[in-house]
Every structure is written in structure tokens, then in C-alpha cells.
Structure 1
Amino acid sequence: MTQPKPTESSIIETTLSLDTVLELLANQRRRFALYTLVDLTDDLIEFEMLIEEVATLEAACTQTALTREHYQDVAADLYHWHLPVLADVELIDFDTRDELVRYWPHHVLETWVARVRQDELVHRE
């Protein structure tokens, strides 16, 4: 993860279409990962912490216990599916050796994440 933070011009190069943003938000587990990433104060999180946050959100939404199997399922799904999808659209870098995820902020995505989170998590209560 030695890449520098994107500059204004590189953010323009990685502009996400609305279709891409909506596709990213179409999966609940990936949404929960995005909720966590968007809330980071330094844009960096350990993979284990991301797993924990996503698994906890899922357990809370389904009102089920957080089991070891569920945690392992979340870990595998994030590692093999969701993080590569986010990396493909240049929203994250995932250093598998250090198990660190770096989120590259994106204004349009964050606007939609806030809207969806409001409906999904806040209005549920």
C-alpha cells in the first residue's frame, strides 16, 4: 500500500457512474462494508476490524447471534468477493500481506451511501 492518496485529477479519472454506484450498493454485505469505510477518520482499517463491523451490523439487522460461522462467512465473502469488487473500481486498496484496507473517498458514492444508510439503518428503528 505504497500508493499516494489520489489527487483531484485522479479522482476525476476514477469517476463512478450512477449505475456503478447503484451496483455497489445492491448487496447488503457490501453496503455494510461501505458504511464502515465511509465512516473512517483516516481512510485505513485493519481487515479484521472491517469483518467485525460488517458481521456486527448484519447480526443487529437480523437480530441474530454473532456466531463464529457467521464471522468466517463474512470474512471469506469480503476477502474473495466484495473487496476485489471495490478494488476494481478503485475505491480501495487491499494489502493482503498486512491485511489493511485503504479507502479512497468518493463524493458521489458517499452521497448515495448516506441516503441508503438512512433508509436501511436509521428508519428501521
Structure 2
Amino acid sequence: MTMKKPKSWPSALNSLASEVIDTLAQPVNRVWNTLTGNQQPLRARIVHRYAIPSTRTISVTEGFFGFIPVESYENERFILEVAYADKQYQVEVPRAYYQRSNIGDGIDIHTL
């Protein structure tokens, strides 16, 4: 049994290749639009806000001469819970923005 080549074999391959390239390029286009600012921001509403205090953690690791204490620090974080349509998002914001924002205020958020 032999396979017949269609008369328009190169054009069929070209269209298939262009469809594959378009499919693979979609997520890249979305990310590129986000990075270049072409994506429209969502106007969300602040529904809850809270601050997570800074933490200091001391853990112990085993070294050549015994156990070694290791300190790690995490800065305080300011979180806003925002709602847009039927979805809720958590947004980390700088301290100054957190201090001047109130529940019910609007905020522009960018999502991927």
C-alpha cells in the first residue's frame, strides 16, 4: 500500500505549521502583553486587608564541628484581598499604599 501525496502538500504543511506556531505562541503573547502594559487592568474592590508581622526564625543545621544556628528574617507584608466579578485575589502592596487604602476602595490589578 502506497501513500498518495496530496497536490497541495507544501501548503498543507505550511498551514499546519502556522497553526502549531500560533498555538504555542499564545501564552507568550499574553505574558508579553502583561510585561509591556498592553493588558487591561482589572478594577477590583478591596474587601479585606491585613498585615503579617515580620518574623525571625532560628533553625539548626549540622556542620562539621557540630550544630550551627542559622537565623532567617522575613519582612512584614501587607496584604489586600480584592474582589473582581466572582473571583477574589490576594495582592501584596507596599506599606504606604496599605496605610492609605480602605475597605471598599477600588484598585487596579494585573493578572496573568
TM-score using structure 1 length: 0.18
> Which structure has the bigger radius of gyration?
2
| Higher RCO, 1 vs 2 (CA within 8 Å, ≥6 residues apart) | 1
Higher strand share: 2
Higher helix share: 1
